[in-house]
A = this chain, B = another copy of it.
């Protein structure tokens, strides 16, 4: 974020792309760490070593930038999800457990502030905000995937199991900001909770197993 970079912002089309990327990266970081409403355009341009003119050449508004940040987050989240479940293809129960295990490991990063998209839902209450649709679609898709995995695992009530698993994951993210020590936080018990829910819905009755 040096002055050298600032002076080259407008010299080439590549410079325009680079400054846009820098604004985008800085904004995502600041929104996630400090909150969307706590961060103004000035904070972003200052952090990115650029100015308001470059900002508005790249993004029509802060709201539009917020929406694009959420879309990027959404894309990265599903990439992460697919990578986590890939090693357990064909074993949906193991895929669900892998999601919980990987979520807990991700949360241990001291810099984590929960789920960027859930946090945005708290800050962006106006339905007309361009980020709103991204939030809604993301959570609908998360629910759909969990219910689908629950069904593939043979749950007796896949929708109920998928939803309960979703609540455990969303609760883990929501408590991350308050319980900052992840070695002792409630989310440490999310995987155990998920396993108990899976056992309840997937295990054959014990009498049958014993027989």
Contacts and interface: CB of A to CB of B under 8 A. Distances in A.
Contacts of A207: 206-207, 210
A5 to B, nearest CB: 28
Contacts of A34: 125
A186 B163 contact: yes
Interface residues on A, range: 35 or more
Identical chains bound together, number: 2
A170 interface: yes
Q: Give the residue among A123, A178, A205 with the most B Cβ atoms within 10 A.
A: A178
A139 B175 contact: yes
A16 interface: no
A164 B178 contact: no
Main secondary structure of the interface of A (DSSP, over half): helix
Given A167-B187, A210-B207, A125 B33 contact: yes
Given A33-B125, A196-B201, 20 more contacts: A35-B123, A37-B38, A38-B125, A114-B122, A118-B174, A121-B177, A122-B122, A122-B123, A125-B177, A143-B186, A163-B188, A166-B186, A167-B186, A168-B171, A169-B171, A170-B175, A173-B174, A200-B200, A206-B206, A207-B210
